[in-house]
Structure 1
Amino acid sequence: MEAHQKNPFSGPVTVFQERRLPEQARPVGYAALIDAYELAVPIPVRLTAIGLHHRIKEADNWLLLTPRHEPEASLEGHLIFALKYEGLDLAVLKRLLLTVGDEPIEEIVQASPTGGYARRIWFLYEWLTRRRLSLPDAQNGSYVPVVDPKQQWATGGKTVSRYRVKDNLPGTPDFCPMVFKTKLITDFVDMDLKNQAEKAVAAVPKDIMARAAAFLLLKDSKSSYVIEGENAPQDRIQRWGRAIGEAGLRALDLDELNRLQNIVIGDQRFIRMGLRAEGGFVGTHDRDTQAPLPDHISARQDDLPSLIDGLVAFDRLAADLDPVIAASVLAFGFVYIHPFEDGNGRIHRYLIHHTLAQKGFSPPGVIFPISAAILDEIEQYRIVLESYSKRLLPVIDWRPTASNNVEVISDTADFYRFFDATPHAEFLFGCIQRTIEQDLPQETAYLKSHDIALTAIMNRVEMPDRMAEKLILFVRQSGGHLSKKRREREYEALTDTEVEDLENIIKDAFDDH
């Protein structure tokens, strides 16, 4: 039995950690390591097992490989299998490496000093645990990437001579979520949405584009409040809209996050501003006892400074990571950490704009109404948020406090540093595609039709611009006709013929676009 190993590697099963397998099979890789070393970690979305038949099968988030793929039943065998077939799950790896300690890893490297997997394991051990093994620097072996770029999104990387590896991890030990190269994300990247957005903007006259951009900016700001269940007054919506309009102009740090919270929170008398001084959760309270009923538990308050440092470092280091992937990692990482008592959701969505603008993805002066797209897909948004929260909650030990909050009593910081952000990236790509292909064209088309209608109205009947603009609004709201109440109250001076002509002008202008 391996050092520190609690249980032997299991045989074929039909249920693993309350998850059914498609058929009887032997868990391998991360599943086998989690089981054998009793690791209290969020279970990876996708697990692997060795089936009893000589065919590969995928079902229910299980990959069943054939007996010829089965690794040696040892720490080294399953660890190398995980790196080869399952990519990096840094949360599992860190708990595993801390559990097994120095000696087994030193033995793996000494047994295969030029082996690419051995050197990757060595690097990951020292990078994750911040402990130096009693091993001399590697002298031979081709440089190998720490992240397999065929499996997961990574940076260009830098060579690290001690291990003869290329460190292409997209973050630091303080914060480094990973995203898998799924077909959906690869297809989105191949669409070149940035170029599509630039072409869409270039095809619109500058004056119309400026007005469309202003409308979409306020639409995003308002939607962000609605997502939080708030009906904010117009001045707060406009103030937050101005902040979103400046996204990407300032470097991200704690002072900037505090500034954004101050803008978001209107009445600060009942909110402790700045980083939380106690636990936090998203959920409800028991109606009778007021005990907390969490759906998501936030990072411990003591861990917030290092987690924020990690977010800031990620924002600055992941320069060559795809902008949408980087935005997904940063924004959803922030909302899982939930560093403030209030304002987290709106700042989380602001960070999407920040990253897209900072990386030059958004056309200058244009803010994609991401929050509006999220609002229209609010159920899917919640599913994406819960894709990690539901796996995280069972491994957090907590107790209720006297103030009906939560106190986390287990070490959970790594679960906010490292998580699988693949569903989040897929979702955000879809939202951005929608804003480019639907929201932006629809708004510019509306403004073109509006201008045509306004000009034609003024040529037919002389009236103040504001009155003509309201006429367009009223006619469109009433299905193409001016209501009796509006006509008697505001447009009583118009003749029946004029009203009919103006209704047709508005209908024709909008039917053509």
Structure 2
Amino acid sequence: MFILPEQCKPVGYKALVDKYQLQTFSHFRWSYIALRGERRTYKENDQEYHIYRKSYDVKNKNDDLLQIEFALKYDGVSLEILKAVFQYVSTIEVENFVRAYPTGKYARCIWFLFEKLTKQKLQLPDVSSGAYCDLLDNKAYFTAKPINSRRHRIRDNLLGNTDFCLMVRKTDCLQRYENANLASVVENVIKKYDPSIISRAMRFLYTKETMSSYEIERERPDQKRAMRFIGLLKEAEHLPSLSKEQLIDLQKAIVDPRFALNDYRDSQNYVGELPNLYTQKVHYISPKPEDIEFLMNGFFYAFDRILESEVSAIVAAAAISFAFVFIHPFDDGNGRIHRFLIHYILSRKGFTLKGMIFPVSAVMLNDRAAYDAILESFSLPLMSRITDFTLSTEGSLQVHQESRSYYQYVDMTLIAEYLYSCIKQTIETEFTLELEYLVTYDRLKMLIQDIVDMPAYSNLSDHRFQSYRSLSDDIPMTPKFRSDVTSDAFPMANS
């Protein structure tokens, strides 16, 4: 556990969080000023601690805007912390700060963010000259196509807007994944196999993705629902830009008709368990029903911003699909729609070729602990902040505090790293091994036919010979193959 060196004081975001005792999510980077010593950096898991020399200190530690300027300069952008701090900053303070630094990059960023986050327009004239500057540093963050704000001379390149924005940092891990170019890895794998082998493999992999996605939810679909889900996966690339109506239709196609909705949920849902007969443990509380429409409108805007940007397919899929499942807009089907969105975005972004799928859900299912851990990277800190709620004996939960801001500005960096690892593993195992299985199967089948045709076996009945010829691609050669897919799923793979 990181122990702060002696004679250090917080600066930037950390100073503001401590000053106002904010219950915001922890920012990935905290900064401190040391009275003596050199510049140092510590890292513990995904949390960074930066120790600066005294010369870096702000002129007035009680000036919130100077602390914000330091934070934007060194610690990146935390919309959640900024929105919370701006509640304690007056419009006059911001106006005076901007007038003092009229062409300063960080003064203009503060001005832009204050107006957008508080919905208040300051009594300041538009900037009439000077170069535009990016809101997010595109060397540190994945960014969207810039939208120029002429008033502030700021290029807004957020993956969303100030009502709902997904943040993904360019960590060393993500940079390594990006440089690996998994799309080209897939292309090289495909080149090694006959198109007929690829086609046969896809029939099985679509089924495997479907069954795995349902099994994660501890459900077993009947053949009709499974076939419908397979059809949705196959048509994912043709689905136009998402809308509320399309998500409702998806939900109706996926869930049991008894639980299908014609709108977003109107009740509070949560994830919990019963450790014993007398208590219920709550693991995750989703947004209040009255916040769903607002959050989903922001989600759709972020979706469009990300899809039209140059953000890579896997990063985009991680940000959008997990944002959806955290909002949990429906009573049922959220998890399966979340995993469907992964495939939809991979298709829309051109990562998966037409008629192909990578059964990511199978990898998630095989390492359920890792999948749960990445969900808990959001749910655990969330639950340490949502403390004012009641749970009735009938299981009805009600949240009594403001909670919407916790879902508005999620840092998806660790989640993007996780999804990259899943897709890499899917390509190396589920995808490649299935192709190798079919090649081996064909060779074995030819060997059997050669044996049957040998004169020494001429007494083999025609009926027995026919039984060899009718072997299906979807029948395993040994009990070890495809044990994770139930027998009644195999007919679906042949369709």
Same-fold call, TM cutoff 0.5:
yes
Judged with a 3 Å threshold, the aligned counterparts in structure 2 of structure 1 residues 161 and 228 are, in CA distance, closer, same or farther, namely: same
Structure 1 residue runs of 5 or longer lacking an equivalent are 1-18, 480-513
Mapped to 2, the partners of 1:124 and 1:97 lie a distance apart of 9
Residue 214 in structure 1 maps to residue 200 in structure 2:
no
Match of 2:284 in 1: 296
Match of 2:38 in 1: 54
Judged with a 3 Å threshold, the aligned counterparts in structure 2 of structure 1 residues 230 and 78 are, in CA distance, closer, same or farther, namely: same
Q: 2:339·2:361 contact (CA, 8 Å) conserved in 1?
A: yes
Q: 1:22·1:59 contact (CA, 8 Å) conserved in 2?
A: no
Tell me the SS of whatever aligns to 2:155: strand
Q: 2:259·2:331 contact (CA, 8 Å) conserved in 1?
A: no
Higher mean alpha-carbon deviation, 270-279 vs 165-174, is at 270-279
Residue 384 in structure 1 maps to residue 386 in structure 2:
no
Identify which of 366, 380, 405 aligns with 2:356: 366
Match of 2:11 in 1: 28
Equivalent runs, 1:6-405 vs 2, <5 Å: 21-24=3-6, 25-51=8-34, 52-60=36-44, 61-67=47-53, 68-72=55-59, 73=61, 74-250=63-239, 251-266=241-256, 268-269=257-258, 274-285=263-274, 287-289=276-278, 292-318=280-306, 319-320=308-309, 321-396=311-386, 397-401=388-392, 403-405=394-396
Mapped to 1, the partners of 2:420 and 2:440 lie a distance apart of 29
Q: 2:271·2:282 contact (CA, 8 Å) conserved in 1?
A: yes
Mapped to 2, the partners of 1:141 and 1:433 lie a distance apart of 45
Structure 2 residue runs of 5 or longer lacking an equivalent are 453-461, 482-495
Mapped to 2, the partners of 1:465 and 1:142 lie a distance apart of 76
For 2:402, the aligned partner's letter is D
Mapped to 2, the partners of 1:103 and 1:400 lie a distance apart of 44
For 1:426, the aligned partner's letter is E
Q: 1:216·1:369 contact (CA, 8 Å) conserved in 2?
A: yes
Q: CA deviation at 1:91?
A: 1.3
Match of 1:500 in 2: none
Judged with a 3 Å threshold, the aligned counterparts in structure 2 of structure 1 residues 449 and 83 are, in CA distance, closer, same or farther, namely: same
Q: CA deviation at 1:309?
A: 1.4
Match of 2:479 in 1: 477
Q: CA deviation at 1:426?
A: 0.3
Tell me the SS of whatever aligns to 2:88: helix
For 2:12, the aligned partner's letter is G
Judged with a 3 Å threshold, the aligned counterparts in structure 2 of structure 1 residues 478 and 79 are, in CA distance, closer, same or farther, namely: closer
Q: CA deviation at 1:270?
A: 5.3
Mapped to 2, the partners of 1:103 and 1:381 lie a distance apart of 47
**What per-residue deviation string (whole Å, max 9, x for no partner) do you get for residues 471-498 of structure 1?**
995753389xxxxxxxxxxxxxxxxxxx
Judged with a 3 Å threshold, the aligned counterparts in structure 2 of structure 1 residues 474 and 195 are, in CA distance, closer, same or farther, namely: closer
Q: CA deviation at 1:98?
A: 2.9
Judged with a 3 Å threshold, the aligned counterparts in structure 2 of structure 1 residues 71 and 197 are, in CA distance, closer, same or farther, namely: farther
Equivalent runs, 1:427-506 vs 2, <5 Å: 427-461=418-452, 463-464=465-466, 469=471, 476-477=478-479
Tell me the SS of whatever aligns to 1:63: strand
Percentage of identical aligned residues: 32
Mapped to 1, the partners of 2:38 and 2:248 lie a distance apart of 57
TM-score by length of structure 2 reads 0.87
Mapped to 2, the partners of 1:472 and 1:300 lie a distance apart of 45
Q: 1:300·1:408 contact (CA, 8 Å) conserved in 2?
A: yes
TM-score by length of structure 1 reads 0.84
Match of 1:493 in 2: none
Mapped to 2, the partners of 1:474 and 1:316 lie a distance apart of 43
Higher mean alpha-carbon deviation, 273-282 vs 157-166, is at 273-282
Number of equivalent positions = 459
Q: 2:252·2:260 contact (CA, 8 Å) conserved in 1?
A: no
Q: 2:31·2:52 contact (CA, 8 Å) conserved in 1?
A: no
Tell me the SS of whatever aligns to 1:399: strand
Runs of at least 4 residues off by over 4 Å: 270-273, 465-468, 470-475
Mapped to 1, the partners of 2:65 and 2:390 lie a distance apart of 37
For 2:447, the aligned partner's letter is A
Mapped to 1, the partners of 2:440 and 2:318 lie a distance apart of 35
Mapped to 1, the partners of 2:198 and 2:245 lie a distance apart of 33
**What per-residue deviation string (whole Å, max 9, x for no partner) do you get for residues 3-38 of structure 1?**
xxxxxxxxxxxxxxxx86343332222111111122
Mapped to 2, the partners of 1:288 and 1:435 lie a distance apart of 40
Higher mean alpha-carbon deviation, 342-351 vs 25-34, is at 25-34
Q: 1:91·1:414 contact (CA, 8 Å) conserved in 2?
A: yes
Q: CA deviation at 1:174?
A: 3.4
Q: 1:324·1:428 contact (CA, 8 Å) conserved in 2?
A: yes
Q: CA deviation at 1:273?
A: 5.6
Q: CA deviation at 1:390?
A: 1.3
**What per-residue deviation string (whole Å, max 9, x for no partner) do you get for residues 448-489 of structure 1?**
11112112212322623567637995753389xxxxxxxxxx
Q: 2:29·2:50 contact (CA, 8 Å) conserved in 1?
A: no
Judged with a 3 Å threshold, the aligned counterparts in structure 2 of structure 1 residues 342 and 111 are, in CA distance, closer, same or farther, namely: same
Q: 1:273·1:340 contact (CA, 8 Å) conserved in 2?
A: no
Q: 1:49·1:64 contact (CA, 8 Å) conserved in 2?
A: yes
